Amino acid sequence: MSSTSKYKGWRLALGIVAIPFVLAIVYYAFFSVDRYVSTAEVVVRQDGNNPGAQIPGLSTLLTGANPASREETLYLREFITSYDMMNLLETRLHWSAHYAGQRKDIFFLLDKDAPAEDRLAFYQRMVTARYDETTGLLTVEVQALTPAMAKQMLAVILEASEHFVNEVSHSMAREQMKFAQAELEGARKNYNLRKQQLLSFQNDNKVLDGQNSAQSRAGIIAALESAYSTEQANTARLQYRLREDSPQVVQQKAKVRAIREQLTAEKQLLVSAPDGDQANVVASRFQQLILDAGIAEDTYKTSVAALDNARVEASKKIRTLVTVVSPNTPDLALYPERLYNLATILLALVLLYGITRFIIASIEDHRD
């Protein structure tokens, strides 16, 4: 190998490996800021048994009869890394000023006047939430420049998370109960209206049961028709035996006439006429009112049962946030992992150097 090739090799090693690695050492030794990490593990549990919920296997063992609620836990994960949570931390702890206070580490600079999108991106680097499909646990990790700030931020996040879970589950339960109560109130008003219409009809028509009244009047008509036929036969028999102007015949004819007039009057009361006060009309209206009142009563009973069922279902929708691992106050800075990062960088640079040397050698071979 010529001296020129050796010189090129040393220069390549210097440019690809030595100088970048020295810069990395300088950065981690003098410029990188220590970041303290506070961690907590939480789980959203449902108070009622929901057969349709997706329940991780180990989660059932951990939580027993109240399994972890996967859907609400994923909602919570998104809430923790959202604008809302970032703004809450800004209001409560002024978190951006905490990070904007350092100017050494160029990779973790945050301008206090940075746009909201940039602040959210930086916030999501400092606050992470990871969901474990196996256990159903949500691990929340907060990085800060001081141990106290890391723990304070995580405490505020958990407090807001508990309020979020309670509000979401209770709002769902309230909406369900509100709908059931509105249906019950409507059914109650309709039932009371139908009962009042039935009572008013009975009072106006002086009947307790229009159907029975019509049946009774029909029985009276049948009796009068039978009596009329009998008396007609008696009249014919008397006329055969006596003269037309005899007192017995005159009296019998008067009796027949009275029965016929009574029969006509009873039929007029039973059969419908334009005034609508006849027994058959009363019976028809009464029967319709009875039917409407019965339907309204059944609807009211169904609404009462639906409200009780909604109350039970609403209780099953209640979710609670359980803190499995409480926020800790870190003693040591977990980040940056200087030795690990330097070893990784050195390995990557050596690999890059080897690939570059291989490419250069291949080019030179083809050129020769």
pLDDT digits (tens, 9 = 90+) for 31-81: 889 999 999 999 988 765 444 444 444 444 444 444 557 888 898 999 999
Rounded-to-integer distance, Cα 269 and Cα 280, Å: 8
Averaged pLDDT for residues 269-294: 59
Q: What is the pLDDT of residues 323-365, one digit of tens each?
A: 888 898 888 888 888 899 999 999 999 999 889 888 887 877 7
Half-sphere exposure of 334 (CA within 13 A, CB side): 13
The residue among 220, 208, 300 whose CA lies nearest residue 268 is 220
- Give the distance, in angstroms, between the CA of residue 84 and the centroid of all CA atoms in the same chain: 21
Residue 347 is predicted with a pLDDT of 94
H/E stretch holding 124: helix 116-126
Domain range summary for the chain, segments of one domain joined by +: 31-177+315-367, 191-314
Is the pLDDT confidence value at 201 over 70?
no
- β-sheet with 36-46: strand ranges across: 127-131, 138-144, 36-46, 319-325
Are the CB atoms for 139 and 132 separated by under 8 Å? yes
CB 217 within 8 A of CB 266: yes
129-159: per-residue pLDDT in tens? Answer: 999 988 889 999 999 999 999 999 999 999 9
**Does 346 or 111 have the greater pLDDT score?**
346
pLDDT classification of 274: cutoffs 50, 70, 90: very low
